[in-house]
Structure formats: structure tokens, C-alpha cells
Chains A and B, each alone.
Chain A
Amino acid sequence: MSSIPWPFPKLGIKPALTNAANRRVSQWARKRQGIDSTVTRLRPGRVYILPTGVGLVFGLMVFAMLLGSMNYNNNLSFVLTFILAGLGFVAMHQCQRNLVGLELSFAGVEPVFAGQAAQFRVAITNHSKNARHGIRLYTDDSVSELQDLMPGESKVFVLAVMTDKRGRIPLHRFGIRTLFPFELFRSWAWLHMNLSGLVYPHPADHAPPPPPTQTAHGHRQHDARGEEDFAGLRKFHVGDSPRHVAWKAYARSGQLLSKQFSGADTSSQWFDFSTVPSDDVEQRLSILTNWIINADRTREDYGLRMPGAEFSPSHGDTQRRQCLETLALFGLDNNSG
């Protein structure tokens, strides 16, 4: 159920052909509808509908039944045939009406690290006096949960979009669809809300230890601090220096712990892009990300020095967000996406 045909099903034969056809259709829809605002109510004109596979079989069956009824001149099987045909017509309209008038509003997306799925949240509100059934959002390669909307109800649907690199992940288009009532028809609408989510760099898996902490006076405290300002033990994190591992504790408990050293209250770290020990820009960003996460986790003050930007040492959510955002968008055109 991961990939949803859109609108032409992938039949396995000539996937290039159906892909091209789908692309043409979606371009046409995009041009026809224009950009949607982040709060959009579905008009009837933009809700499309096509029969499903089950619907096609149903249609064939009704046609066969019609031939049979004509052959036997059997008036009651005519009744059966026409009732089913009528239900087909009704199902078609019911299916389209199940979407028309719903209000979709973008409810935000949390930043993620590259490699994680960005969770685009969209709230759908049913303003009408009757329930809407079997609603689901979808993108080219993911679907949200299937939910019913009672009269006046509003529910959040989550679209997970996989990310692979830092920057802004755009969601140019997503769809809303329903198979209600009988899965004979699929009606859907495309939305082009121009959404995008922020993707932080992937934290480096094997990052070198961060540069040593400095006191407010700027003195280097390289080797001396170990014996003096031991502050306690905490869990080992990737990137911790093996020199700080509490090997004795490890021997006792089997748990990797790092020794923590606190300098003075004023101690802080500066993470400088230019001094990160790597040649590759992306690798440097990854390492910086790793350092920031770790520093944030231990609530240490840290500053970030990037070409053209500098955040003085601090800690807290704002500092973390600002620094990671800078890393995410470093070197990228901010206006794009």
C-alpha cells in the first residue's frame, strides 16, 4: 500500500508510459488549479473521480447481467440488474460528495534530521451536517491513516515524507482521497499548498570530540581539567572522547559512562566551522550537528561560528533551533523551496 496510483494504476506493463501519463495529468491539474492557500476548501470542480478495479469488475458484471436478463427476458433479473446499475450511479455521486466542502489547513511540520521522515500535519475539518467516511491523505509514496470525520469534526492527518539531505524539503503536492461508499470509485483532489519542512544535517555517526571548553578568560584548559573539576558521570554519547570514559565504572557495571568535567560557570564551547577536522563541507556540517546535539543534551553553553554568521555561546531551544537551522540552510539559497 505504499505507492498509490495517481490516477493511472501501475499495471506492471510499460511503467514509463503510465508514469509519463500521470506526470502530464498532474501538470495539467497544477496549471488548472494554481497554488492553494494553506487553508483550502474543496470545491466540486477540483474533486476528480475514476472507477477502481473493483468498480470495473462491478460494471462488467452488471453488463453481463443485463445481457442475461435480455436473453431470458426475465423481468425480475432486470430489476436486480437495474438496482445494481442505479447503485453504481449513486455510489459515484456519493463518493465525490464525500470530499466536496472539506476544509484542509496546514498544521505545521517539525524539523527533522536528514534520514528521518518529515511529518507534515494537515487538519481536515468537516463543516457539514453529515459524517464523511474513509478519508485519507497521500503523496506519491506515502499515505496517512484512514479516518472518518463526524459532523463539525476536525482531525489531523499526518503525511510522512522521507528526507535524505539537509535543507528545505518541499511538499509541492499532496492528495486527499476516498473510496467510500463501496470502493467502486476513487475520488480524489490534489492540493498544491507549497509546503516545506526544514531538514537539519544528519548528525555524524563518528564525530571527533568537540573542541575543548574555554573559560571566560580564554585560557586553554586542555589536559589540566581532568583532575580538578570532575563533576560527575553521565551516559556515554557518540563523540565523547575515549579518554573521558570511566573505565573503572565500566568494569564494575558494564555500562559505558563518560566523566563530566565542569569548569567555571562561565565555561563555554565555540564550534567553529573553519576548524572542524574535515575537508568535506557536508561532513563538517554533520559533525557540527553532532556537537550541538550533544552540547544541548548536557545543557552546556555553546557558540557557533559560521562564515557570515555567529551565535554567541548560550543554550536552550532557541539556541539549538537557530544553530541547526543555520547549518541546515548553509550554502543554500534561502528563497528556494
Chain B
Amino acid sequence: MAKARGTDGSLLESLPWTLFALMFSLAPHIQFLPWWITAAFIICGIWRFSIEKRRRPIPSTWFRGALALLCFLGVLATYSTVSGVGPGSALLAIMAALKLLETLKRRDQFVLLFISIFLVMSSLLREQYLWSLPYLLVAVFLIMTAWLRISSATGQKARRSFSTSGRLVMYAAPLAIAMWIFFPRIATPFWAVPMDTGTGTSGISDTMSPGDIGLLSLSDAVAFRVDFKGDVPEPRDLYWRGLVLTLFNGRTWSGNDPFDGARVHENVVYGGRPVEYQITMEPTRQPWVFALDMPLSSSVTLPRTFMGPQQQLARARPIDQRISYEATSYLDYRTDVHLTQFARSFYERIPDGSNPRTQELAIRMRNAAGSDPAFIEAVLMRFHEQEYYYTLEPPPLGSNSVDRFLFDTRQGFCEHYASAFAVMMRAAGVPARVVLGYQGGELNPMGGHLIVRQSDAHAWNEVWLEGVGWRRVDPTSAVAPERIEIGRGGSMFDGVGAAWGFDMPSALLHKVTLYWDAMNATWNEWVLGYGPENQNKFMEWLGMDDPDWRKMMLTMIAVVIGLVLLISLALSLRYRPPKRDRAAILYTRFVRKTGIEPATGETPALFAVRVDGESAIPTETVNSITSTYLDARYGPLNPQALQRLESEVRKL
């Protein structure tokens, strides 16, 4: 490695394109990367370009090595790991930046383009939206254009590279579509990789501490979409069961591990009409699987998903991608009528000294009511008739949060009411627990599906009654019945319109939003959710009997071979020589008849002189054919000459 670090400007034609392709592939990562990585990348890009422009040498090996070490440590310090999509794409960006400084030869840039491709790939692993497809197509086009700039002779016009790479991507598109449709999808992954993308987990948290957060964030993000096979149930029945919280420490509710305390499974007796539906759920990076209260465990078509002891569904692996599953639920159901003494005391447990005023009130009210159902009714009446308010911005609560809420602040949202209700039940010796999930949803008339948003997150209670079993009680409905009866769907947009002082745009905006949502739902189901099941369905629709991976693979190979042959044909037509001149064909026939090989660069006239006497053809004929040929081929347009040539050559 002698001193060969000088640049000579030979990269000026390709480097800007490589930089552009790299920047384009990095763009979707920028919001997730630490700022210094993006900055380092941009600085290295500009620096390398100016080095090339001014024909300076690239930085020394020592400098680059030190920089690489520094950046690696930086990534390690930021993420404290190097595996996963987040640190992985950070490392890719760093590699690209450092490789830029090392790039000397034209072909070194291929490495940069390989990194670009991996950057695009990892952005797709992180998130998939409707615009991700056009994005990736444009990215491929830019990368291949840069690729062409690197590999083609210098001095070629950029416009030509554009059109060539565009044409080749066009040829590749049908092949890609065929492979995409027929390549057999498998359900289970080979290995799991942590998907910590650095974004906050959306959805519902594992614990509930009313009063800790003063403000419930009203995210409009879609939690999941539901397609009902039959009629959509009434809004008041739309309780989407998630996780169940059974432990209370005086302040925070938490669940017992669904796979750990699973000794006692409750018996559920299902009744009434089954409700069948399909849920497409956005990633939550949590194990919880949501289903309409009460799901039939065996009906959930999601692999490695189990039902916990309190009928909560969970998948063994966190849901880190959009998933789709079918389920069947029954709105009428009964759970265990009998509860063991152990279970009973488990569901009545509250810390002894906590929230003393609440405990005292509960015992007093229970004694006054005389029975458990009457006591429940009394507590709900208290919430309904006394001055309790439903608000999304409740004041913070200190210690003994339930006491503070029930007697002092009297403002809260579902979590506050569910927590207070459960504590009162338990204090009075009624087994109770908290269920977290979603309530309601908005029907999208365009897609015919129900949209459940993060803002539909809800908490309610289940109490156990002698002879009845576990029964759902929603204390929030006692305070804000409209929250349950109609849901909050449209109100959000009304608010926007009211704030601006006019109504029309908000209605229009709402409609546009619903259209967009319907498009997303279709996209999710048919493109992003094209898994083993959809593929089988599609294969059957195409007429494949009993589709399996072998048949699909064979079909894919056959279709790809057919398409490749078509492309080859298209290319051979593209490069076919133009039709040969008729006169030239006739003259070649004459030359073959003479039996003499023309020399390179020999003109017909010189050839005629050479042929004279050597060949069996008489001199006059040779001369006449030669002159007629020259007339027909090079003279002014003259059909007679061609005809004469035709007849003379035929006579031979």
C-alpha cells in the first residue's frame, strides 16, 4: 500500500449519484438515529466530494481507523447494544460515512451502494406504510442509476443512465411481481431478532397507576381494525379484552404473569350467537392480543398464542409487526360459578393500611346494601349521582390515591374509576379485578370495517358474584354513559372544526381520513398481510387445487422462466439489425456465385476487375451487375435499377 491516496477527479461523474442514492436510503432512518450520526454522514459526504473536486488525497488510514473506533463506541454508548434494527441501521449509516472517506477507486462505490440497499431494507423492517412501496421503487431506481454511472464508460450522459436504469427496472418489475405472488410464504420465522426501534411503545401498558400521569394522551393512531363476518355488535357490547390486572399494592395495579400463575383456569360457558371477525393489529411490541369479550380460545388463528387464567390472550413473542388473525367471540358467557378459598382471597387482597377512608366507606356501604349486587349498584349510583366528573386531564393524586380521588378531587378517566371501584369491592370482600383493553371503535363506511384507535383504550372491572361468576361492570359508564354508548369517534374532528370556527372542512377532513383509512386497510390486508393464509386463498382463486409450497415454487419457476424468455425476446428485437438492403442481398448472392472471396475494404469496382477472367461469369455480365448494383444501392432512388439487378442475378 504505497502512497496512492490521491484523487484524480475520476469519481466526479459517479460520486454525486452514489451520494444521492445513499442519502435517499438514509432519509427514513433520520428521525430514529441520534443526530450526530446524520451529521457525521452529511459531513463525510460533503468532505469526500470536495476532496474529489479539489483532487486532494483522502484522509490517512490512522485517521480513518480512529474515527471508526470513535463512531463504534458512540453507537455502543447510545444503544448499549449493536444488534437490532435501531443500532443496526446506525452502524450501516456510520459504515457508509466512513467508507466514503476510504473510497478511492471507481468500483469502491459498489460497497456504498450495497450499504444503501441494506439501509432501504432495514427501513422496511422498521415500518411499512402505504408510501413505503413507491419509496422503495424510487430508491431502487436511484441506486441502480448510480450503479450504472459507476460501471459505465466515463463521459456518458446522465440522461442516458437514467433511461437505461429505468428501462431495466421496468423489465424487472413483472419478474418481481411474479416472484412476490408465488414465492411460498411460511408462518414461522427462523430466528427472532429484537425489534427495538427506539420508538415509544404504543398501546396499553402492563400496569395501571391512576394519578401518576396527569394527562391521558389521545393518540389517533390505529390500534387495530376489525372486519366482522356478520353484523357489527352494538357499541355498548364492544369491549375488546386485553390484559387483566389482579394485584394492587395500594397505588399500582399489575397483572400476574399469564404463563406463570396459570394453575387455575376458569371454566367459561359460552352462549348465544357466535360473532366471527378478523382483526388486523398494529405492532405494539407487547404480547397482548385483543379480542371481543369473550373470545373462544381455540378460535384465535394466531400461532403460539395462549389464553391466560383470566381469559387474557397473549402471544409468546411480542407483536413487533402488523399481524392479522381471526377469532370468534360470544357476547353471552358465564365463567366459574365456584371460586376456591385461595382464589377468593387472592381477588380480595388489598394492602392493609392503604386508602383507609375508602376501606371504611366500602364496608359501610356493603353493610347498608345487604347483598353484593345491591352493593355494586350502590357504588355505581354514588358515581352517577354524586359530583364525579369524567375528564382526560385530572389533577395528580398523592399517596392513598384512591382516597384522594374518591373524596377530594372526584375527577378522572376510566382508570381512576376502575381502580376505585375494584378497591371498594375488595375492601368489602367482593372478588374484583381490572380489565384493560379497548372499548368501542368507529365504523368506516368506506371499508366496512371498525377502526379501534389508541384513544379508545379503556379500563373496566370484573366482579365475582356467588352463583353468577365473573361479571363485567364498567364504572366509567356510570359517570359518562355517552363514552360507552356512542364512543368518541367523531367528536375529535368536531373539536377541530369548532376550534377553527367552521364545520364544513371538518366533515370533509373526516371523510378524507376515512378514505385514507380504508385504503390503508386494504393495503394492509392484501399487500402487507399477504401471508400463508392469504396466499393460499389467492392460489385457490387462481385455480390451484390444494395449494402447497411445492406447487407454488414450481409455478413460480415456470412463470419466471416464461417471463425471462419474453424479456430476452424483447431485448433481441431491440437489438436486431435493420432490414438489409435488397440490392446488397442480391449483390452478396452474385459474389457467392463468382466463387471468389472479396478482400477487406475492396470496392465492387476493384472486385469486378479482379473477378474478370478468374470466374466463369462473362466479363460483360460482371460489369453490368456491378454498375447496376452501384446504381441501385448508392444512386438516386431508382426502382428500375433494382429490378434489372434482380433479373440479372437471377439469370446466373
Contact with A along B106-125 (1 / 0, CB 8 A): 01001000100100110011
Q: How large, as a class, is the contact surface on chain B?
A: 35 or more
- Whether a CB of chain B sits under 8 angstroms from the CB of A260 is no
- Whether a CB of chain A sits under 8 angstroms from the CB of B189 is yes
- Whether a CB of chain B sits under 8 angstroms from the CB of A148 is yes
A57: chain B residues at CB < 8 Å are 110, 114
- Whether a CB of chain B sits under 8 angstroms from the CB of A332 is no
A77: chain B residues at CB < 8 Å are 121, 124-125
Are B179 and A71 in contact, CB atoms less than 8 angstroms apart?
Answer: no
B177: chain A residues at CB < 8 Å are 82
A-contacting 9-mer, from B30-38, B439-447, B572-580: B572-580
Given contacts A128-B577, A133-B153, contact A85 B189 (CB under 8 A): no
A107: chain B residues at CB < 8 Å are 600
A98: chain B residues at CB < 8 Å are 575
- Whether a CB of chain A sits under 8 angstroms from the CB of B399 is no
- Whether a CB of chain A sits under 8 angstroms from the CB of B20 is no
Are B164 and A129 in contact, CB atoms less than 8 angstroms apart?
Answer: no
- Whether a CB of chain B sits under 8 angstroms from the CB of A214 is no
Contact with B along A85-128 (1 / 0, CB 8 A): 11101110110011011000111100000000000000000011
Are B121 and A93 in contact, CB atoms less than 8 angstroms apart?
Answer: no
B321: chain A residues at CB < 8 Å are 72-74
B140: chain A residues at CB < 8 Å are 80, 83-84, 87
A91: chain B residues at CB < 8 Å are 168
A80: chain B residues at CB < 8 Å are 117, 120-121, 124, 136, 140
Q: How large, as a class, is the contact surface on chain A?
A: 35 or more
- Whether a CB of chain B sits under 8 angstroms from the CB of A249 is no
Min CB gap A211→B, angstroms: 40
Min CB gap A269→B, angstroms: 36
Min CB gap A87→B, angstroms: 4
Which residues in chain A, 1-56, are within 8 Å of chain B measured between CB atoms? 38-39, 44, 54
B120: chain A residues at CB < 8 Å are 80
Most buried by B among A77, A86, A179: A86
- Whether a CB of chain B sits under 8 angstroms from the CB of A147 is yes
Residue in B137, B148, B190, B567 whose beta carbon sits within 8 Å of that of A90 in the complex: B567
A83: chain B residues at CB < 8 Å are 136-137, 140, 169, 172-173, 176
Cα separation A108 to B601 with both chains bound (whole Å) = 11
Are A97 and B152 in contact, CB atoms less than 8 angstroms apart?
Answer: no
Closest A residue to B111 using CB positions = A57
Cα separation A76 to B191 with both chains bound (whole Å) = 19
Closest B residue to A92 using CB positions = B564
Cα separation A72 to B575 with both chains bound (whole Å) = 41
Are B124 and A181 in contact, CB atoms less than 8 angstroms apart?
Answer: no
Closest B residue to A70 using CB positions = B186
Which residues in chain A, 137-177, are within 8 Å of chain B measured between CB atoms? 146-148
Cα separation A90 to B137 with both chains bound (whole Å) = 16
Cα separation A181 to B165 with both chains bound (whole Å) = 9
Min CB gap B86→A, angstroms: 15
B647: chain A residues at CB < 8 Å are none
B125: chain A residues at CB < 8 Å are 68, 72, 74, 77
- Whether a CB of chain A sits under 8 angstroms from the CB of B151 is yes
- Whether a CB of chain B sits under 8 angstroms from the CB of A282 is no
Contact with A along B419-455 (1 / 0, CB 8 A): 0000000000000000000000000000000000000
Given contacts A74-B321, A129-B578, A182-B147, contact A97 B572 (CB under 8 A): yes
Residue in B114, B172, B527 whose beta carbon sits within 8 Å of that of A87 in the complex: B172
Are A181 and B168 in contact, CB atoms less than 8 angstroms apart?
Answer: yes
Given contacts A77-B121, A86-B179, A182-B144, contact A54 B107 (CB under 8 A): yes
- Whether a CB of chain B sits under 8 angstroms from the CB of A134 is yes
Min CB gap B569→A, angstroms: 10
Cα separation A127 to B577 with both chains bound (whole Å) = 5
- Whether a CB of chain B sits under 8 angstroms from the CB of A204 is no
Are A181 and B567 in contact, CB atoms less than 8 angstroms apart?
Answer: no
- Whether a CB of chain B sits under 8 angstroms from the CB of A293 is no
Cα separation A220 to B458 with both chains bound (whole Å) = 127
Can you list 8 residue pairs at the A/B interface with Cβ under 8 Å? A72-B125, A73-B187, A76-B128, A97-B574, A97-B575, A101-B577, A128-B577, A134-B151
Please give me the 7 A-B residue pairs with the lowest Cβ-Cβ distance, nearest first.
A86-B172, A86-B175, A82-B176, A127-B577, A82-B179, A183-B151, A83-B176
